[in-house]
Amino acid sequence: MSHSHLPIRHLIRHIEKTRMNGHSDAPSSKSTPAWMQRFVDGITDLFEPFSGVARVGFECAHATEAWEISVFLGEKELVGGPTDGRMEATNFRFDLFGIRNCFTEIQSMQWNAFPNSHVCFDEAADLSFITVAGQYEGNFIRLQVHATPPDCVGPAIREYADGRVEMV
């Protein structure tokens, strides 16, 4: 799998700041720490699309006692033809056993499922996700592995009617 990650919200925030300030050197939040990029690279290798190509996206935030990192495969946007504009999620497998090699120490691993989604969410698309809490290079991490990207995320890949594929 390609190591082409999508730190989506960070990119969107940077673009918004650039547009608001009218120049590209707008002040931005801290960049992603090098250790986190190594961690995400390791997690990326655990995704395997059942067909075609895919891009892993991630979001991260520092909470009081831990880094919270969510990973997912971005959607594909179909361009041209009768299905123009349709977004498709990517079917994939994720190597749960391999996650142990990405952490220095794992403290918990849970599967979260919301089959009775109307109780918890109004418009939840991701009704099941894995959460792993542990240490990596001295940093406490809560990792969530999602089957679909957040609603606010645009396409990761565009597939044109003529067969061309473009990473976004």
- What does the domain layout of the chain look like in residue ranges? 8-167
Torsions phi, psi for 104 (to 5 deg): -75, -40
Question: Which residue reads 């120490």 in tokens?
Answer: 105
Question: Could you read off the pLDDT of 122-144 as tens digits, one per residue?
Answer: 455 567 899 999 999 999 999 99
Cα 101 from Cα 154, distance rounded (Å): 30
CA R_g for the chain: 17
Reply yes or no on whether the pLDDT at 49 is more than 60: yes
Q: Specify the pLDDT at position 26.
A: 37
Q: Which range is least confidently modeled, 15-24, 31-40, 58-67, 98-107?
A: 15-24
